[in-house]
Each structure stands twice: as C-alpha cells, then as structure tokens.
C-alpha cells in the first residue's frame, strides 16, 4: 500500500517537474517576443521587474518582488467571506430538514407505517404470480380445465376412475327416473 503511494507520489513529482519546465519555456518565449500582445489577456508581466531569464535565482526574486508588490483589496475579500458564510448557514438550515421531513420522521418512528415485508415479500409475491400464470398458460395450451388439473393432482388409479364414472352414471339415471 505504501509502495503504491510512494510510486504515485513519484509520478506526480515527475509530472509537476514537466509542467514547471513547460511553464519556464513558455515564459522564456514570452520574454523573447517582448511584446505585450503575446501575454495572456488577463495577465501582464511587470515591466519594471524584467529579469534575465537565464538566472533562475534572479527570476525567483523577481516573482517574489511582484507578489510583495500586490495590494489585495481586503474589503472585497471580507465581503466574499461574509457571502460564503451566509450561503453556508442557508445550506445548514436546509440540511436540518423541512416540515415534511420532520412529519415523515415522526410518522415512521411512531410505528404508523404499514409493514409490507420489504423487497423479500414483493419478490415472493412476484414468483407466486409468475408460477400461477405459467400454470394457466400450460393448461390452456394443453386444453386442460381447472377441474382436470385438480383431478390430476389427486392422481387416482384407473380403477377408481372407472368406479367414479359408474357412480356418476347411476346417480344421473336415478335422478332422471325421479323426474319422470
């Protein structure tokens, strides 16, 4: 783990060195041209502190002098900090929750929420429904009725079926004799 971290840090260092070399090269090119039109629109190099690009120590001192010469506007900074603090306070108030969230929380905590069994119950119901539909489709395709399916589930022997058929015929005959 630490070896990976060290390798990543080494890679970052190499990339930073490459980036710094490119920045130095771009700065040298800008200084060679000497015209302000080649410098970025939002930035301008100090014309007072032109330094020899060959001497890195002098270049460093020149940059530090320019940083020291900057005069920040503290009032604007303070206003920006105040605006950021107000936004942060609004965000914190929003996190605390609104009326609906409080009502939902109290509803759930009081146990009024119907317990439906969760996703396991829904999955069980879905599987049962799929199985029921599968049986119905199978029965329709094979021309079976529900009575036939119930009859097959009992699985009577052939002799019992024959006896049952005879009993039904006898009952029908008796019933027809009574009507006449």
Q: Which of 1-15, 35-49, 78-92 has the lowest mean pLDDT?
A: 35-49
What local confidence, expressed as pLDDT, does residue 149 receive? Answer: 57
Bigger pLDDT: 167 or 22? 22
What local confidence, expressed as pLDDT, does residue 38 receive? Answer: 47
Question: What is the percent of the chain with per-residue pLDDT over 90, rounded to a whole number?
Answer: 19
What local confidence, expressed as pLDDT, does residue 39 receive? Answer: 47
Bigger pLDDT: 7 or 148? 7
- Written as six digits, the tokens of 86 are 């107000």
pLDDT at 171 > cutoff 60: yes
Q: Which of 24-38, 54-68, 129-143, 151-165 has the highest mean pLDDT?
A: 129-143
CB 135 within 8 A of CB 150: no
pLDDT at 28 > cutoff 70: yes
Give the Cα separation of 58 and 32 in Å (integer).
17
Instruction: Note the Cα 89 to chain centre separation in Å.
Output: 27
Hunting for tokens 């004799």 — which residue is that? 177
Alpha helices, H only, 34-73: 56-69
Confidence of residue 150 (pLDDT cuts 50, 70, 90): low
Give the Cα separation of 73 and 22 in Å (integer).
31
pTM confidence score: 0.24
Give the Cα separation of 85 and 22 in Å (integer).
38
């Amino acid at each position: 783990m630490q070896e990976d971290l060290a390798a990543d840090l080494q890679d970052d260092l190499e990339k930073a060195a490459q980036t710094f070399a490119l920045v130095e090269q771009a700065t040298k090119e800008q200084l060679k041209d000497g015209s302000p039109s080649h410098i970025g629109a939002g930035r301008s190099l100090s014309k007072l502190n032109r330094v020899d690009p060959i001497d890195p120590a002098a270049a460093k001192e020149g940059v530090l002098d320019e940083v020291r010469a900057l005069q920040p506007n503290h009032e604007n900074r303070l206003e920006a900090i105040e605006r950021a603090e107000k936004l942060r306070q609004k965000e914190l108030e929003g996190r605390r929750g609104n009326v609906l969230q409080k009502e939902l929380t109290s509803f759930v905590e009081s146990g009024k929420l119907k317990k439906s069994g969760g996703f396991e119950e829904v999955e069980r119901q879905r599987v049962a429904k799929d199985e029921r539909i599968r049986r119905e489709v199978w029965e329709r395709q094979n021309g079976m009725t529900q009575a036939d399916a119930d009859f097959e589930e009992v699985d009577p022997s052939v002799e019992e079926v024959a006896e049952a058929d005879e009993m039904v015929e006898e009952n029908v005959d008796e019933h027809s004799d009574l009507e006449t």
